Chain A
Amino acid sequence: MKHTISVQVEDKPGALARISTMFARRGFNIDSLAVGPTERSGVSCITLRVDCEQHSLEQIEKQIHKLVNVLRVTELVPGEAVERELLLLKVAAAADKRADLIASAAALGGRTLDLGADAVVFELTGTPEELDSFQELARPHGIQELIRTGRIGMSRPSTRRTSRRLSAIN
C-alpha cells in the first residue's frame, strides 16, 4: 500500500542525505520525493511517497524520527490531507491536431506554456490521479518529455485530524 510521509527537518547540510541513506540501507523504496522550504525559516519539508506494508511504515517513521535533524514525522492520511503534484508535459502535436489537447488541459485546470511547430508544453497541477488521466489522454499523441515533481501535501483543516505523529509509542 502507498503512503505519504511528511518530514519536517532542520535545514542543515546532509539532512536529506541522511534520510535517503536510511531508506536505502533498510531496504525501503521511495516512489517520489519532494523537498522545499516551509513557513518556518531554517525548516524544510521532505514529502516522501513510499509503497510498503503498515509494519514497514512504522519502522520507517521510527527510524526517520531518530535522525538528529528531524523535527517531526507525519503520515498524511488519504481523505484528511490535500495532496498535489505538478506535471510538465511536452506532447508531439502538429498545429492542426492540438486543439482538443489544449481544451482537455484547460478543462483540468492546466495551462499551455509553450507552443512549438511540432509540440506543445503543458503544465498541470492536481491530484496524482488527475495528472495520470491527463497523461493517458496525451499519450496517443506522443509524449516527448514528461516530468512530475513528486507529491506534496498538508492536512485539511476542515476534517478532524487523525494523521498520526510518530512518537506514537511514547
Chain B
Amino acid sequence: MSGTNRMTGADAVLRSLEAEGVDVMFGLPGGAILPLYDAIARGTTVRHVLARHEQGAGHMAEGYARASGRPGVALATSGPGATNLVTPIADAWMDSTPLVCITGQVRSTLIGTDAFQECDITGITMPIVKHSWLVQDVKEIPAIIKAAFHVATTGRSGPVLVDIPRDIQEAELDFSYPDEVDLPGWRPPSKVHPLQIREAARVVALAEKPVLYVGGGTLNGDACEELLQLAEVGRLPVITTLMAKGAFPESHELHFGWPGMHGPKWSNFAMNKCDVLVAIGARFDDRVTGKLAAFAPGATIVHLDIDPAEIGKLRVADVPVVGPLKMAIAELTREVERHRSEGVPAPEAWLQKIVDWREEFPLRYDKSDELKPQTVIEKLQELTARDDVIVTTGVGQHQMWAMQYIVSERPRTFITSGGLGTMGYGIPAAIGAKAARPEATVVCVDGDGCFQMTQQELATAVLENLPIVVVIVNNGYLGMVQQWQDMFFAERRSQVHLTRQVPDYAMLAQAYGALGITVESEDELGPALEEALASGRTAVVDCRVAQSEQCFPMIPAGAAAIDMIEYGESVEAM
C-alpha cells in the first residue's frame, strides 16, 4: 500500500490516474464534473487535452490507445457530455480499443429525479462496455479506477466507464491506491492449452494451402513479433484485416494483402481456396467473409483468440485455441518449427500461386484529366515511405483506398474505425495518436463527409500543439453511399451530394490557424503534400478529386468472395 492522505474524491481520481501511469487525458468540462476539473487546475502530472466536443475527446483517447498500446482516457460531464461519448465507446467496443471514460454525474441525492443534465449513462452504455461503475461511496474511488484500468486492458481489451456523482467528487477520503484488484468474476484466459497448440501446429504445418487470417487482436495482444516469427518459420502467407493493417510488414514477401469487401482479388482468392485458415485475433466479420456459407469453403479452421466467445460464434473452429495471442503464437511457432525441421515441407507452390494471382489481378485504376483519389493516396505513400508516419482515416471510400495504397510497415501506424465504421473518427484519432507519439508524422486521410463531422477538433490540434496533416479526398459526395446507390439502386443518388466547394476547406483551415491548401490537379498534388508535411503545423490539403470514382475491387454485401467485381466491370457482368 502506498502512503495514505486525506483528499477529495476528485483529487483521488487524479492520484489514481497518475498511479496508473496515465500521461494524457482528453476531455471537456461541465457542471457535474467541475470538482474534477478544479482538481486538474490545482495540479496533476497528467496532461489534459481540451477537445471541442466530447465525441472528439473520446476518439482522441482511442487514437492515443491505438498508437501507444496504452489505455486512452476521456473525461466528460453528465447528460449530453456523457451521451456524446457514446459513439467513441461503441467504436472502442467494436474494435476492442482499451478506453477508460470518466463522466461526472448529478449529485447522488438527485439521481433518478430527472435533474438538470442527468442521464443514466451507465444504463445507456451497458451493451457497449466491458463493465461500468456508478460510484456510490467516495472511498471506492481508488479501487474502482484500479479495476477500470485492469478490466479495460486485460483479456480482450475494450471500453469501461466510471460515472462519479458530483457530491462524491467533493467528499473526502483517506487515499491509498491498491496494489491488487478485487474482481472475483473477472478471470480472462492467461494460459494456452498445450494439446490444442500441438493439434493446431500439426494442422498448420501439414497444410498444403494455409493462410494466416490476422485480425486486430494481434495488435491488442502485442503479438506482432511472434506473428512475424510464425510466418517466417512456417513460410505461411499472411493476410491482415483492416484492423490488423501494420501488424505484419506489408513489404514482406509473405504479406498478401487484406481480405473482404474491398480487398484485392489475390487476397480473397487465397482466403477462398485455402485448405487451412488460421484466424488469429480475427472475428469473421461480415465485411471480411461476405456470404458466410461460401467463405473459405472446405477449409479447416484453426482459431486463436483471447476471447472464448469469438470461437465458433460465426464459423465452427476445427481447432480452437483460447489464450493470450503472444503466448499462443510463440508456442505455435515452436511446434510448427519442429514439424518443418522434421521435414514437413513449406507450402512453396501455394505461395507462388498467390504471387501469380497478384500479378494476374493487380489493384488498378484509370488515370484521367481529373485528379483521381487513388493517386492522392499513392502520392502520400510515396512521400512518406521513409518516415515514421501514422495514418488515420475516416470511414468510406477514402478509407478503403488508404487500405489498398498505404504501405504499413510497423504495428500501430494505421488507425481506423473498423467495426462501427464511425465517420469523423480520423481527425480526433490523429490528434490522439500525435499526443501518444509526438515524434511521428501523423496524417489523417479523410473524406469530405467525414471531415465535416469532427472538423472542430482542428482547433484542438492547433491550440494544443498537436500538429496533424489532414488530406481530404474531396469528391463532393458521401462517396461510399453514392457508390452503393449507383451500383445497387439504379444510380438514384439520394441525399449524397455535399459539393466540393462548400465549405472552402483551405479557408476553413486558415480560420482555425492551420495551413490550408487546395489541390485541383495532379501537378499541384506533390508540392502541396510536401509543403503540408514539411510545415510542422496542422495542415489541411483539400484534394478535389474526380466525383464519381468508385472503389474496386468489391464484393457486394452478402455475395461470395469469389464473385467480386473488379475495376471496370459493371455490376450486371457479375
Contact = CB atoms under 8 A, between A and B. Distances in A.
Nearest to A68: B131
A18 B126 contact: yes
A66 B184 contact: no
B107 interface: no
A67 B132 CA distance: 11
Nearest to B309: A62
A10 B184 contact: yes
A33 to B, nearest CB: 17
A160 interface: no
B151 A66 contact: no
Given A17-B126, A170-B322, A71 B308 contact: no
B367 interface: no
B488 interface: no
Given A14-B126, A17-B126, A18-B126, A59 B185 contact: no
A80 to B, nearest CB: 24
B151 A68 contact: yes
B126 A167 contact: no
B123 interface: yes
Contacts of A162: none
B171 to A, nearest CB: 19
Given A9-B185, A68-B131, A21 B311 contact: no
A169 B126 contact: no
Nearest to A14: B122
Given A58-B312, A66-B309, A68-B131, A169 B186 contact: no
* Secondary structure type dominating chain B contacts: loop
Nearest to B313: A59
A66 B307 contact: yes
A9 B189 CA distance: 19
Contacts of B183: 68
A66 B127 CA distance: 12
B323 A170 contact: yes
Interface residues of A, number: 26
Contacts of B132: 14
A26 to B, nearest CB: 9
B481 interface: no
Contacts of B313: 59
A13 B123 CA distance: 11
Given A21-B127, A63-B309, A169 B322 contact: yes
Nearest to A18: B126
A71 B126 CA distance: 19
A25 to B, nearest CB: 4
Contacts of B186: 68
Contacts of A67: 131, 185
A63 B312 CA distance: 12
Contacts of A155: none
B492 interface: no
Contacts of A9: 185
A49 interface: no
B98 to A, nearest CB: 15
A170 B195 CA distance: 11
Interface string A135-170: 000000000000000000000000000000011011
Interface string B125-161: 0110011101010000000000000010001000000
B353 interface: no
Contacts of A69: 131, 185
A70 interface: yes
Interface string A2-31: 000000011001100110011011000000
Contacts of A70: 185
B252 interface: no
B184 A71 contact: yes
A9 B130 CA distance: 16
A65 B184 contact: no
- Pick the most buried of B151, B193, B322: most chain A CB atoms within 10 A of its CB: B322
A55 to B, nearest CB: 7
Interface of B: 122-123, 126-127, 130-132, 134, 136, 151, 155, 183-186, 189, 191, 193, 307-309, 311-313, 320, 322-323
11 contacts: A10-B184, A13-B134, A21-B126, A55-B312, A62-B311, A63-B309, A68-B131, A68-B151, A71-B185, A169-B322, A170-B191
7 smallest beta-carbon distances between A and B, as pairs: A62-B309, A68-B131, A170-B322, A25-B127, A169-B308, A21-B126, A71-B185
